[in-house]
Amino acid sequence: MTLPAFLFGVLISTLMGALFHLWKGGTLFDLLIDVVVSLVGFWLGHFAGVSAGLAIGTVGPLRLGSAIVGAIIFLSLGYWLFQEEPKQTP
């Protein structure tokens, strides 16, 4: 993995987290969670694509197709896990 490919991956995954936050809204803490979850999902998706030998959407050494799918899955799971429950009024 080259440094430009790594930086491009960080840029794409951060952009995905920010766009997801823009779509769903929330606080600054939610933005931080969205970006971190997107980064983790992106790189796990990339490494899963490398280990499975998938070459869909390859940009240089970066498996962009599987990485984007991983980020989307992790963003969806993160949104579901970090939701705040509505307050119950007696």
17-58 pLDDT tens trace: 999 999 998 889 999 999 999 999 999 999 999 999 988 889
**The amino acid at 14:** T
pLDDT number for residue 89: 76
d(CA 17, CA 15): 5
Residue with tokens 């993160």: 78
Kindly report the pTM of this predicted structure.
Answer: 0.88
| Number of residues that this document lists for the chain | 90
- Residue 30 host element (H or E): helix 28-52
Smallest Cα–Cα separation from 59: which of 4, 18, 15?
4
